[in-house]
């Protein structure tokens, strides 16, 4: 028997009710599947507070992020920045985000999204914390805003990357790590990403389930519900290994090393 894989899930929405209500089982199953650490995503001020509270219950196993998702940018207040600054002082907060731009759904007006995103980038520069970012159908504005701060921010990850080869290159040029989710396991809409990851250097690869979303479609046997959980991270590893022609152990060890580096994890 080879050693079990040791994986870090860099994006888990554990404060989501569907997961929170069965937290013990979710965590035990993840541990059995080799997930040694989870980073809980803060998607709004309220969620960021909850994410940190949860992270504090087991600092070795959890970390968290502090931010406001572009969907919620319209509800962001300038006074929120102070609270975010305070939350980010806690040792368990390892990144600023989720933040970014989403021009696919446009739940918040685009100019507000841009303003709030830039506020997050400035905060990350000030605190010297990495950025945890979301971008959908907004690549050029995203790259434009971020490039203004290049050299000032302490790296970051574009989480749930779904772009093509040229967008991948642009993100790498911005010094970013690339978060790969179960999107890569989707035979209907994952083709571009499956091509693009062939150009992703292994030292920029991160893996995440984005639970409870994006259930990998390659899971065998097919699960009954649609709720994704961190234990499914291994299916993303399997898919990457098969596309890249590398052992699963290599995908696991490289992505775990990268997560430790980017988020300065002490585990
Ligand atoms: Zn996202």
- Cα(218) to ligand 1 centroid in Å equals 21
Can you give the pLDDT at residue 226?
A: 93
pTM attached to this predicted model: 0.97
- d(C-alpha 263, C-alpha 94), whole Å: 5
Can you give the pLDDT at residue 128?
A: 97
Can you give the pLDDT at residue 4?
A: 84
- d(C-alpha 237, C-alpha 242), whole Å: 9
Domains of the chain, CATH where assigned: 7-262 (3.20.20.140)
- Cα(2) to ligand 1 centroid in Å equals 34
pLDDT in tens, the chain (267 residues): 567 899 999 999 999 999 999 999 999 999 999 999 999 999 999 999 999 999 999 999 999 999 999 999 999 999 999 999 999 999 999 999 999 999 999 999 999 999 999 999 999 999 999 999 999 999 999 999 999 999 999 999 999 999 999 999 999 999 999 999 999 999 999 999 999 999 999 999 999 999 999 999 999 999 999 999 999 999 999 999 999 999 999 999 999 999 999 999 998
Can you give the pLDDT at residue 267?
A: 87
CA distances in angstroms from 201 to 14, 121, 171, 183, 184, listed in the order given = 29, 24, 12, 19, 16
- Cα(76) to ligand 1 centroid in Å equals 17
- Cα(1) to ligand 1 centroid in Å equals 36
- Cα(34) to ligand 1 centroid in Å equals 24
DSSP string, 40-66: EPP-SHHHHHHHHHHHHTTTTTEEEEE
């Amino acid at each position: 028997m080879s050693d079990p894989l040791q994986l870090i899930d860099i994006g888990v929405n554990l404060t989501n009710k569907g997961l929170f209500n069965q937290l013990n089982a979710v965590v035990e199953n993840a541990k059995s599947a080799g997930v040694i650490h989870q980073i809980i995503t803060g998607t709004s001020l309220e969620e960021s507070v909850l994410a940190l509270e949860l992270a504090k219950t087991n600092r070795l196993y959890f970390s968290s992020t502090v931010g406001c998702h572009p969907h919620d940018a319209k509800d962001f207040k300038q006074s929120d920045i102070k609270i975010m600054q305070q939350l980010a002082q806690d040792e368990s907060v390892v990144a600023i985000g989720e933040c970014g731009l989403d021009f696919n759904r446009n739940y918040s007006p685009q100019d507000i999204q841009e303003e709030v995103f830039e506020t997050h980038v400035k905060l990350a520069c000030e605190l010297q914390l990495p950025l945890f970012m979301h971008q959908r159908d907004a690549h050029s504005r995203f790259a434009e805003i971020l490039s203004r701060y290049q050299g000032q921010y302490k790296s970051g990850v574009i989480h749930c990357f779904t772009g093509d080869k040229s967008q991948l290159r642009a993100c790498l040029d911005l010094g970013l790590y690339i978060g790969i989710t179960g999107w890569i396991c989707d035979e209907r809409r994952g083709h571009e990403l499956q091509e693009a990851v062939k150009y992703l250097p292994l030292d920029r690869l991160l893996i995440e389930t984005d639970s409870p979303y994006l259930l990998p479609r390659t899971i065998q046997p097919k699960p009954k519900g649609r709720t994704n959980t961190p234990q499914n991270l291994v299916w993303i590893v399997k898919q990457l290994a098969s596309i890249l022609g590398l052992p699963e152990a290599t995908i696991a060890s490289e992505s775990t090393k990268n997560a430790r580096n980017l988020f300065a994890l002490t585990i």
